[in-house]
Amino acid sequence: MPTIFTHPVIAVGLSPWFKQIRDSRLLLFTGIVLTVLPDADVIMFRFGIPYNHLFGHRGFTHSIFFALIISGLITWFFVHRHQLKWVPVWLFLFLCTMSHGLLDMLTNGGKGVALFSPFSNERFFFDFQPIEVSTLSIRRFLDGQGVKVILTELKWIWLPCLFVFVFGWLLARAKRASQDSQ
């Protein structure tokens, strides 16, 4: 899996593309939380749930179904409480949640992602796996493996997200300037 520092970069990178997200720090923060939420499943190791179980690591919480449900529930809350438009809020939150499993599928370790859980527990990776998998051990991360992980994340996640952010920000700025001149 990529590090807990890197998953939130997706939410930040996507934020300029959604006006309601640009206008709401709470929505952006929620998107950031949703990028890391799927890894809450590591708690299951403490309860003896094995990795390849439906609720094991990279199982249900990394699936498309989970992303649909959690983003839908949170969107419902935001739309009803803050009078926001449903589709952009849901799409942003869905992409943030779903990005976690997709990024994990780009790593070179683990047993894959149960993308279609709960309907199938088959685990998947992309054929292209350029991201060094991060250890769950802080000590091993600090002993040197962390540098290699961070370098691959910078190259394959941070830089593309920076490009997406800047391009979205420039487009949003140009659109605002165009509206202001009318």
Q: Where are the alpha helices (DSSP H) in the chain?
A: 7-14, 19-22, 25-36, 64-82, 86-104, 138-140, 146-153, 159-180
* Whole-Å CA distances, 39 to 141, 162, 179: 17, 24, 42
Structure tokens that stand for 159 in this block:
């830089």
Q: Which residues contact 62 (CB under 8 A, 6 or more apart)?
A: 38, 41, 100, 101, 104, 113, 114, 115, 117
> What CA–CA distance (Å, rounded) separates 63 from 74?
17
**The two three-digit tokens of residue 88, written as one number:** 């952009």
- Which residues 6+ apart lie within 8 Å of 136 measured at CB? 42
pLDDT band at 3 (very low <50, low <70, confident <90, very high): confident
CA 98/CA 11 separation, integer angstroms:
11
Evaluate if residue 136 carries a pLDDT over 80: no
pLDDT of residue 8: 97
pLDDT at 182: 76
pLDDT tier, 1 (very low <50, low <70, confident <90, very high otherwise): low
pTM attached to this predicted model:
0.92
Nearest to 86 by CA among 96, 76, 94: 76
Residue type, 65: F
Average pLDDT, the chain: 92
